[in-house]
Structure formats: structure tokens, C-alpha cells
């Protein structure tokens, strides 16, 4: 069945309707491999009040792209790379106006044609196929695929999307999967956290479907393609045969051959009058990303796209509250951008034997790991009932404070393979 081929479309689009106008043509130089632009439009047009309530998509849509992903299938079909383009990316539209705005506004200005041309303009890549799916189409398609695998280590609840997911691994239907991929007010809030969850959901669904033996033969693939085209809309140059070809190729890929990434960001809150808060791409890294895809090369492991310097940490020091009972260590940590309270005035006269100890509450593992990187040799101690601040107790051993490197791109959007991303990948390790 062609369930894997449509996974890339289904789990990344949250739209209704499609209006394709014209073929990709020669707007960008044709590259090796196949590029597919997957978008979702934030529109409630045609949905009844009952459907809006059932899908938990109340409110007014913007008729703009809410989700946008570029999928690159290598020419030899031995690798696929899925790159998310956050909707608040600040770009110049490809309509000749010179106007800049959020990438999601291209669709509002000129429909699917301008959305494609804008992506081609800012990436330099040729788009071969374009796909959309609606809110109800998404739900129906996920149900046709047999549901999706969702997992979380913590309780995820978002009133805006209607998500209420308890810790553990879950088999979700289309409605609950839609809520999961739309949630923006859980874990790491905002669009980048949501984008990573979308990628994780795609990874898990692809892994499960391949494991279950989907796409066993071309006949089954063609049958499912015909059924799913009732939910998934395509442009005039994409038909069931294209989806069968792409799906059969994807079905042969192992998790290590499936890559996921988000465009590297330089500024995460670039304020523009009349536009609002936007994301500015990291010019050098994003150019390296598009060059790799144009040359049909892997994007994982490429230090030009995502460098991983020594002492990279999983949490931003600027958001970590630390109490330190030594004035010099407190000053040194403050210089490394930790939020430090110096408690040396109440420190014991006699220091405990051994290295410094980092005490913290359960659930603060990322912050503790970040602080431990800055304090090499320090021991970590989980203390049930401890408050939200981390506590450093300096011992008799000398404390050296090392620099740390925090890059939000590395945490929320660095290129990774399916082996390291999804629920099933973690369970199978």
C-alpha cells in the first residue's frame, strides 16, 4: 500500500483545499533527485461548526500556509531528506514586488503558485511536486493509514489544539494526531517545538508502516494511492503513478537513510513593524543546506549546516537559576550567562570532602547536564522535593568553570536520521 508515500504529505499539512496554478517550469535550476513541497493552509473554509468543534480548530484562519516542508528524494532513491521551513521565516516574496514578510504569507498573496516560486527563490531548488491536504482530509488519511504512533515522557496538554496526551506510547487516530501536530503551547513553546514533533510523528509512522510490510507490491501501492487521493490533493503534474513511484522508493529506505531537519535560524525573534516577530535564517548554514540538497548529498553530519562544537549543552544557561555557595564560582558561572544567586555568605565554614555537587529536582536533567558541562568533575544529585533552582555545593576539590555552547538549532532542528528521532527509534535501542 502507498501508505509511506503519503505519510510525508499527511503528517505535515494542516490545510483545506488546493489551488495549483501552473507547472514548476524553469523557475529554479533542475537538480538531482526529486523535490516535493508539502504545505498546509490555515483555513476553516467549508468546515461546519460541528466539524470545527470535533477537530478543535475553532478561530479564524489566515488563508496562509501553516506548515511547509521540502522533501528531497535522492536520485538513486537511497535517501530522503525532509526539511521544515518554519512559517514565521522572514523572506522576500517571489512576485517581483520586493516585499518581505513571513513565508506563510506567500500563499495569501498569490496562492500555491507564489508559495512554490517563493520557496524556489529562497532555496535555489526546483520544486517537482506540490501537495496539500485539509483538516478533515488529514484526519481521514491518518485513519486510512491505520493511525499513528505518538509518545511523550511527560503529560502534554494544550487547550488551543485540544491535545491531552499522557506519558507513554500511544496509538492515535487521525483526530488526536491532528491535535498533536498542531499543538504550539507545550514543551518548548512556539513553532520550532511543534515542527520537531511533526518530524517525530512522520518518522514513527514511516518506521511502523515499513516494519509492517507496507508497499508489498506495485498493485497494492496503486490501490491505496487511488484511495488516498480522495483526501490528499496534488497539483496537475502529480498523479497516482508519481505517488506509487515515490512510495515504493521510500519503502526500501532504512531509518538511517531518512533525514529530518529544520532550516537553521540566526535570529529567533526578529521584530519587523507591521509584520511582528519573525525568524531570520542563518545565511551560511541555510545556504550550505540548500547546496547539499542541490548536489544530492546527505545533510546529517555536515558541520557546515550544523556545527557541533565542544561543550555543546542541551539547555540555555540564560534560563537556568543556580544558587552557588562560593563567590568565585558564582561570579564565573554568571560570566557564562547562568542566572546566579551567590549564597557564599551562608556557606559552611568547613567544606565537604570531594568535588562540587549539583543538586536538582527530578525533571531538571537538561539543566543539570548543562551546569555539569560548565563544572567538569562535579557530581549530580537528584533531590526529590527540591525547588526549581539548581544548587551548587562546592567541596574541597578545586572548581574549574568551563565555557559552554548553546545553540537552539542544535536542540530543536539539527539534522538527524530517523534512528535518533522518533518514539520507535528510542524504544528499539
pLDDT in tens, the chain (429 residues): 444 444 455 444 433 333 333 344 444 544 589 999 988 877 777 778 888 888 888 777 778 888 899 999 999 999 999 999 999 999 999 999 999 999 999 999 998 889 999 999 999 999 999 887 767 777 877 887 788 888 887 888 988 889 999 988 899 998 998 898 888 888 666 678 888 888 888 888 777 766 666 555 666 666 666 666 666 677 778 777 887 788 778 878 888 999 999 999 999 999 999 999 999 999 999 999 999 999 999 999 999 999 988 999 999 999 999 999 999 999 999 999 999 999 999 998 899 999 999 999 998 999 999 999 999 999 999 999 999 999 999 999 999 999 999 999 988 899 999 988 877 555 554
Q: Cell numbers for 254, please give them.
A: 532504512
Which residues, including other chains, have CB under 8 Å from residue 76's CB and lie 6 or more apart? none
Query: Which residues are 129's β-sheet partners?
Result: 36
**Cell match 527540591: residue?**
386
Half-sphere exposure of 169 (CA within 13 A, CB side): 12
Q: Are 386 and 368 in contact (CB under 8 A)?
A: no
State the greatest distance between any 2 C-alpha atoms of the chain, in Å, as a whole number.
79
Return the pLDDT at 187. 67
Return the pLDDT at 246. 80
What's the rounded Cα separation, in Å, for the pair 373 and 132?
44
Return the pLDDT at 225. 64
Which residues, including other chains, have CB under 8 Å from residue 241's CB and lie 6 or more apart? 222
Q: Are 365 and 315 in contact (CB under 8 A)?
A: no
Q: Are 244 and 218 in contact (CB under 8 A)?
A: yes
Q: Are 142 and 202 in contact (CB under 8 A)?
A: no
Return the pLDDT at 91. 98
Torsion of CA 173, 65, 264, 266, to 10 degrees: -130
Query: Which residues are 151's β-sheet partners?
Result: 169
Amino acid at each position: 500500500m502507498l501508505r509511506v508515500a503519503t505519510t510525508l504529505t499527511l503528517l505535515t499539512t494542516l490545510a483545506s483545499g488546493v489551488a495549483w496554478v501552473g507547472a514548476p517550469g524553469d523557475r529554479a535550476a533542475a537538480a538531482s533527485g526529486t523535490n516535493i513541497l508539502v504545505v498546509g493552509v490555515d483555513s476553516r473554509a467549508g468546515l461546519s461548526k460541528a466539524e470545527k468543534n470535533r477537530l478543535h480548530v475553532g478561530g479564524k484562519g489566515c488563508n496562509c500556509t501553516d506548515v511547509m516542508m521540502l522533501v528531497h528524494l535522492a536520485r538513486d532513491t537511497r535517501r530522503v531528506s525532509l526539511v521544515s521551513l518554519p512559517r514565521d521565516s522572514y523572506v522576500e516574496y517571489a512576485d517581483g514586488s520586493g516585499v518581505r514578510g513571513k513565508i506563510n504569507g506567500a500563499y495569501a498573496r498569490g496562492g500555491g503558485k507564489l508559495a512554490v516560486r517563493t520557496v524556489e527563490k529562497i532555496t535555489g531548488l526546483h520544486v517537482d511536486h506540490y501537495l496539500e491536504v485539509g483538516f478533515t482530509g488529514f484526519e481521514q488519511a491518518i485513519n486510512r493509514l491505520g493511525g499513528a504512533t505518538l509518545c511523550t515522557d511527560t503529560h502534554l496538554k494544550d487547550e488551543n489544539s485540544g491535545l491531552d496526551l499522557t506519558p507513554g506510547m500511544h496509538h492515535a487516530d487521525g483526530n488526536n494526531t491532528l491535535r498533536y501536530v498542531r499543538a504550539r503551547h507545550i514543551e518548548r513553546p512556539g513553532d520550532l517545538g511543534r515542527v520537531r514533533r511533526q518530524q517525530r510523528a512522520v518518522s514513527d509512522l514511516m518506521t511502523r508502516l515499513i516494519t509492517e510490510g507496507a508497499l508489498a507490491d506495485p498493485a497494492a501501492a496503486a490501490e491505496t494511492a487511488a484511495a488516498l487521493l480522495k483526501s490528499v490533493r496534488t497539483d496537475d503534474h502529480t498523479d497516482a503513478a508519481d505517488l506509487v513511484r515515490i512510495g515504493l522508493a521510500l519503502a526500501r529506505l532504512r531509518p538511517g537513510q531518512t533525514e529530518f531537519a529544520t532550516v537553521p535560524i540566526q535570529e529567533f525573534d526578529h521584530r519587523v513593524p507591521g509584520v511582528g516577530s519573525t525568524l531570520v535564517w542563518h545565511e551560511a548554514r541555510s545556504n550550505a543546506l540548500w547546496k547539499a540538497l542541490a548536489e544530492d548529498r546527505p545533510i546529517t553530519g555536515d558541520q557546515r549546516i550544523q556545527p557541533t562544537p565542544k561543550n555543546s549543552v542541551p539547555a540555555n544557561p540564560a534560563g537556568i537559576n543556580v544558587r552557588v555557595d562560593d563567590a568565585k564560582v558564582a561570579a564565573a558561572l554568571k560570566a557564562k550567562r547562568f542566572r546566579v544567586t551567590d549564597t557564599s555568605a551562608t556557606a559552611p565554614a568547613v567544606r565537604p570532602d570531594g568535588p562540587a555537587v549539583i543538586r536538582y529536582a527530578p525533571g531538571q536533567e537538561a539543566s543539570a547536564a548543562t551546569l555539569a558541562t560548565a563544572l567538569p568533575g562535579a557530581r549530580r544529585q537528584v533531590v526529590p522535593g527540591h525547588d526549581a533552582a539548581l544548587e551548587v555545593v562546592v567541596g574541597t576539590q578545586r572548581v574549574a568553570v568551563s565555557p559552554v555552547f548553546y545553540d537552539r538549532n542544535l536542540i530543536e532542528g539539527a539534522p538527524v536520521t530517523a534512528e535518533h528521532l522518533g518514539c520507535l527509534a528510542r524504544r528499539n535501542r
